[in-house]
Structures are given as structure tokens and as C-alpha cells.
Amino acid sequence: MACIESLKYDIILQGASFKECRDFVRANCSEFVTVDPGFRIFEKAIIGVPPILIGLDGDVITFPFTKPCYGTYLLRTENPAEAARIRALKK
Amino acid sequence: MGSIAETKEKKEALLVLGCPQVPVQTGIALYLMYGLRRHGVVPVVAGNPAARMLVEVSDPLHHYVGEMIDIDTCIGDLADKKRAFSYYIVFIHNDAGVSYAATIQSITGKTIAALIYGEHFQDIAGSIDFPCEKISAKAVHNPMPMKKKIDEVLPWLVSNL
């Protein structure tokens, strides 16, 4: 599985707060999963202020990604296997 | 039979460094490591490569710093319960620092110490609403305000967290 920085992704929000990321996912994604910090997405432990929302639209995943020097981004990428794994958490 | 000193549990403190763009970070980190050593606590540093390299260059013989680990590896190991520390101290001067602190608090369930500094320290301190001990000062170039805070709180911190 690819690491996040090698994925082909779109930046939806940049320098966002986790509340802004949550609000965006709630308003714009057809479904979402709530996870705790440390949940692994693309093999990387997710950083953030809980609750962390990961959005799903078919095979497209919308998720926050934090870097120490650059703050938090909301990214969107298509990955059928990872979307299915995350969607399965809802059941 | 070992002596009391030999059988005493070794305590480690995890210091999570932020982006080193605020000048006081490395100096304050090394001063805190000195203080922790005086209390018998071994400091372990997690940070990005630049933050770690600043510590490495400042303390090449590791008089103060102990192990140094990549910040993402560290978070992964905490999340997987591969490692745990007696104390968690997170350096915060921006939103990313708040996110790392919230993550460590959530993963470990422990009360962490948040060292909040930089130009916007009051706004950042006000944005933190998860359980932690906030140690804050307007320290950007001059480390003395934060050094004084550390001098005040470190004995309490190593006794109570």
C-alpha cells in the first residue's frame, strides 16, 4: 500500500482546524466514519483532535493529514481497497 | 541483590518537538532535558528531521538527550502500544502542535504537559480543550520566560504526572 505522500491526492482544505475538517466532511461527503487519533490510514497513524471524521464517496476517501511544519490539510484520494476497509468499520 | 538505585524503575519522558521555526525551541528543549536528568528522568526526543538535527548538533555527546526517534514512528508505536513513557511533554507553537498533543493524549489516556510558546501562545492555549497541563509563556527569541516556567513547574510535574 502506498504511503500518503506518494498518493495522487487533491487538497481540499489547507491550514484547516479539525472542526473545519469535520464540518466539511459532514456537509460534503455521502457517508463518514468517526475514528480515534492513531487510527491507521494508508499505514500512517492519523494525527488530530478527536472526533476525527473520514469521509467516503464510493471509492473516494476524504481525510485530514497533519505535518508538523505545515499544519493540517484535508485530502481527497481514490483507493477502493482502503475505502472498503474504512467502510467496514461502520458495520 | 541490586541496590535501591539499580532496582528503581527507570523513568523516561517523551519530549515531542514541533517544527523548529520558533528560535527558542531547541534551547528550551535542552534546558528541560537538563532538568529532567536532575530528577532522574531520561529524556527521549521525537521530532521531524530538522528538529532532531538541531538537538543532535547542540548536544553531540548526548549529555542531556537520550534516544531520538522520528515523530511519525513514535506516534505509530504509541498507537500500537509498542512503547509507553512516564511523562509526555509536547512543544506547541502552532495548530499542528495542538494536533500532536491531542493525539498523544487520546492514544495514551494520560495527562500530558503542553509547553505552549511563540507569538500566539495565548490563542493556542485557548484552543486546547482536552485534558492537559498547560505551561505557557510568550517565548519567541528569548527563552527566559519559558525557562522560569519550567523552573517553577518541573518539580511538580515529575511528582504528579
What are the tens digits of pLDDT across the range A39-60?
A: 999 989 999 989 999 999 999 9
- Residue spans of the domains in chain B: they are 10-160
Q: What is the mean pLDDT of chain A?
A: 91
Specify the residue for cell string 525551541.
Answer: B25
Could B103 and A38 be called an inter-chain contact, meaning their C-beta atoms sit closer than 8 Å?
A: yes
Q: Which residue of A has its CA nearest to B81?
A: A38
Q: Which residue of A has its CA nearest to B48?
A: A68
Quote the pLDDT of residue B2: 46
Quote the pLDDT of residue A91: 66
Specify the residue for cell string 534551547.
Answer: B27
Choose among B127, B141, B130: nearest CA to B103. Answer: B130
- Residue spans of the domains in chain A: they are 8-90
The residue among A70 and A35 whose pLDDT is bigger is A35
Specify the residue for cell string 512543544.
Answer: B91
Residue from B15, B22, B45, B99 to probe the interface with A (highest A Cβ count within 10 Å): B99
Q: How far apart are CA B101 and CA A47, in angstroms?
A: 9
Quote the pLDDT of residue B45: 98
Q: What is the CATH number of domain B10-160?
A: 3.40.50.10160
Residues 6 or more apart in contact with residue B74 via CB below 8 angstroms: B14, B16, B46, B83
pLDDT band at A61 (very low <50, low <70, confident <90, very high): very high
Listed as ranges, residues in chain B with pLDDT below 50 are 1-2
Residues 6 or more apart in contact with residue B148 via CB below 8 angstroms: B137
Residues 6 or more apart in contact with residue B9 via CB below 8 angstroms: none
- Please say if the pLDDT value at position A3 is more than 50: yes
Nearest to B98 among A45, A49, A50 (CB): A49
Choose among A51, A8, A55, A5: nearest CA to A30. Answer: A55
Q: In this structure, what DSSP letter does residue B114 have?
A: E
Indicate the Cα dihedral angle B156, B78, A20, A60, nearest 10°.
Answer: 180
> Chain B residues with CB inside 8 Å of A70's CB?
19, 96
